[in-house]
Structure 1
Amino acid sequence: MANDKMAKQMTEKGGFIAALDQSGGSTPGALRQYGIPETAYSGDAEMFQLMHEMRVRIMTAPAFTGDKVIGAILFEKTMDGEAEGKPVPSFLWENRGVVPFLKMDKGLEAEADGVSLMKPIPGLDALLERAVKLGVYGTKMRSTIKLASPTGVAAIVRQQFEIAAQISGHGLMPIIEPEVLIKSPDKTGAEGLLREELLKALEALPAGQTVMLKLTIPTVPDFYKPLVDHPKVERVVALSGGYSQAEACKLLAENHGMIASFSRALTEGLTKSMSDAEFNAAIGQSIDTIYKASTQKV
């Protein structure tokens, strides 16, 4: 069964997850980085079309295969789109050997108590059903932690695990992403609180239920090793959080068992004006570098 093969790949295979899930507010910045200014399009439809073309260019690059890229997180419109005439999730798994995930949160609430919870997600069950039909393996949802606030961090973890239970109910693998902001005035303190809350929440998970975790690379190397080794965690993946590719890879390589799930650090240096040969060489180089950091082969 495809799902069993996907689970085996996500649990055992060396490599990393590509985060191709910029949405709404982060799309203009991603397009700017790619060399497309905001004056080049008008309205959301054109903006998302340009973003889709960029993502398809990445997904169809020769190096973008399950040999090194074991999974990819998709924005909802990307999940519903096509690559080479196939629905994107089918194309990724059948043509590329890459496990598809869906980013399903709707952005963040305003900061309160040192954290930003997720906004409500209307129609979540219908979205999850659609994802299952399209062959998606799991989902990702992000909230952020700015301060080392015990009540704030506890609220973040509680919300993430409540929604994770709903996701698991559809047979999907939830990626829980409580991002400690790299500019936090007490990043180490926030990470200590987060690890404690995550371990408590994992112990309370029903038998047979597992999750994945997507975390900021910790200040202290291997600080999240207890989470990496936890029997209820399928994989711990790292976000680049605003670090450059070189810095993110250097820090990641110090954390054994964590693998990358980079967005900006993956697409760094790619531009629309590149020839296909240049583009494929550049994304191939990025994939090699991030793969090495994810498998501690640097």
Structure 2
Amino acid sequence: MNQKQFDRMHTGKGFIAALDQSGGSTPKALRAYGLSDDAWHNDDEMFDLVHQMRTRIMTSPSFTSDRILAAILFENTMDRKVEGQYTADYLWNTKGIIPILKIDKGLKDEENHVRLMKPIPGLDATLEHAVKDRHIFGTKERSVILDYDEKGIAAIVDQQFELGMKVCAHGLVPILEPEVDIHSPHKAECEKLLHDLIMKKLGTLGDEKIMFKLTIPTQADLYTDVIADPHVVRVVALSGGYSQKEACELLKQNHGMIASFSRAFAQNLRYNQTDAEFDAEVKKAADLIYDASIS
């Protein structure tokens, strides 16, 4: 583990830019960027376009470590290059931004009001490659809670921690992401049970260091004790479908929690903007999200 990166992630001011749209969510991200479906004809062309979009974001003059602590990458992005360097090396060596890898392969169908992660084939090989060849700091793995169900939420927490411990064994810092759907009819109840189960699991850990990416809770400062736990490097918030303005306003109510936004970060970026217009929007978003993350 890179100690400089660890210290920055643990105590630094800023937020995480989530640039990890996968195969399933990439078309939606490209449409939001202003590209119609006829801009690509197959997956290779689609991934080329989204890498161009991500490269434009990462190379923007306003995409800097002054505001941004880390960036989450899709596996396809990790193995591509930005300005002649592998993406993670570019982020850290050129920008001073910590590289994190999304490792989940999508979600299973709903069962017990949750969607667990699908199996992750070749996980150990991926993690070894991420550490030795691509200099990745940590991972991110997402599952979703749709409504209150004690059995389902317990299964989510068990799966997240089980995978997290495998990631820790490779010297990486996992970001566990048991998202609560913001449209859940019992969102606050789901979050309270999730909180309690997380705290129980933290009490079973040894010297492992982990992070959490959580839905901004209905009850402000619900996760204060999670943030303070010595096993926890950082607790970050997902935007979860909230607009940039909504997500920032809600985040400000949760002290010690920082942003890890995807759509809420890139929502005003467009393919047809000039470089100056594009950079201005990156700066505006970074400033707003940074301010919410340090409040």
> Shorter-chain TM-score: which interval?
over 0.9
Q: Which amino acid in structure 1 is aligned with residue 212 of structure 2?
A: L
Q: Which amino acid in structure 1 is aligned with residue 174 of structure 2?
A: P
- Name the CA distance, whole Å, in 1 between partners of 2:209 and 2:150: 24
Residue 210 of structure 2 corresponds to: 211
1:220 Cα offset (Å): 1.0
1:181-220 equivalent positions in 2, closer than 5 A? 181-206=181-206, 208-220=207-219
Q: Does 1:146 align with 2:146?
A: yes
Q: Does 1:37 align with 2:26?
A: no
1:170 Cα offset (Å): 0.4
Residue 26 of structure 2 corresponds to: 27
- Name the CA distance, whole Å, in 2 between partners of 1:42 and 1:253: 42
1:231 Cα offset (Å): 1.1
- Name the CA distance, whole Å, in 1 between partners of 2:64 and 2:80: 19
Q: Which amino acid in structure 2 is aligned with residue 57 of structure 1?
A: R
**Deviation readout 1:50-87 (Å, 9 max, x if unpaired):** 00000000000111111110000000011111000100
Q: Does 1:274 align with 2:262?
A: no
- Name the CA distance, whole Å, in 2 between partners of 1:248 and 1:196: 24
- Name the CA distance, whole Å, in 1 between partners of 2:83 and 2:38: 28
**Deviation readout 1:196-220 (Å, 9 max, x if unpaired):** 11001111112x1111000000001
Residue 287 of structure 1 corresponds to: 286
- Name the CA distance, whole Å, in 1 between partners of 2:149 and 2:281: 41
1:265 Cα offset (Å): 0.3
SS of match in other structure, 1:255: coil
Residue 76 of structure 2 corresponds to: 77
- Name the CA distance, whole Å, in 1 between partners of 2:80 and 2:248: 31
Residue 108 of structure 1 corresponds to: 107
**Deviation readout 1:170-201 (Å, 9 max, x if unpaired):** 00000000000000010001001100110011
1:24 Cα offset (Å): 1.0
- Name the CA distance, whole Å, in 2 between partners of 1:118 and 1:131: 20
- Name the CA distance, whole Å, in 2 between partners of 1:63 and 1:8: 23
Residue 161 of structure 1 corresponds to: 161
**Deviation readout 1:220-255 (Å, 9 max, x if unpaired):** 110111111111110000000000000000000110
Q: Which amino acid in structure 1 is aligned with residue 164 of structure 2?
A: A
SS of match in other structure, 1:213: strand
Query: Normalising by structure 2, what TM-score?
Result: 0.99
Answer with 175-184 or 222-231: which moved more.
222-231
- Name the CA distance, whole Å, in 1 between partners of 2:219 and 2:194: 14
Q: Which amino acid in structure 2 is aligned with residue 145 of structure 1?
A: I
- Name the CA distance, whole Å, in 1 between partners of 2:15 and 2:141: 18
- Name the CA distance, whole Å, in 1 between partners of 2:242 and 2:53: 22
- Name the CA distance, whole Å, in 2 between partners of 1:4 and 1:229: 20
Residue 118 of structure 1 corresponds to: 117
Structure 1 moving runs of 4+ over 2 Å: none
- Name the CA distance, whole Å, in 2 between partners of 1:231 and 1:69: 23
1:155 Cα offset (Å): 0.4
- Name the CA distance, whole Å, in 1 between partners of 2:215 and 2:239: 7
Q: Which amino acid in structure 2 is aligned with residue 140 of structure 1?
A: K
Q: Which amino acid in structure 1 is aligned with residue 192 of structure 2?
A: G
- Name the CA distance, whole Å, in 1 between partners of 2:66 and 2:20: 21
- Name the CA distance, whole Å, in 1 between partners of 2:172 and 2:291: 28
Question: How many pairs align?
Answer: 294
Q: Which amino acid in structure 2 is aligned with residue 267 of structure 1?
A: A
1:38 Cα offset (Å): 0.8
RMSD: 0.7
**Deviation readout 1:8-46 (Å, 9 max, x if unpaired):** 000010100000000011110000000001111111100
- Name the CA distance, whole Å, in 1 between partners of 2:36 and 2:243: 21
Query: Normalising by structure 1, what TM-score?
Result: 0.98
- Name the CA distance, whole Å, in 2 between partners of 1:275 and 1:180: 37
Q: Which amino acid in structure 1 is aligned with residue 140 of structure 2?
A: K
1:272 Cα offset (Å): 0.4
- Name the CA distance, whole Å, in 2 between partners of 1:180 and 1:291: 23
Q: Which amino acid in structure 1 is aligned with residue 195 of structure 2?
A: R
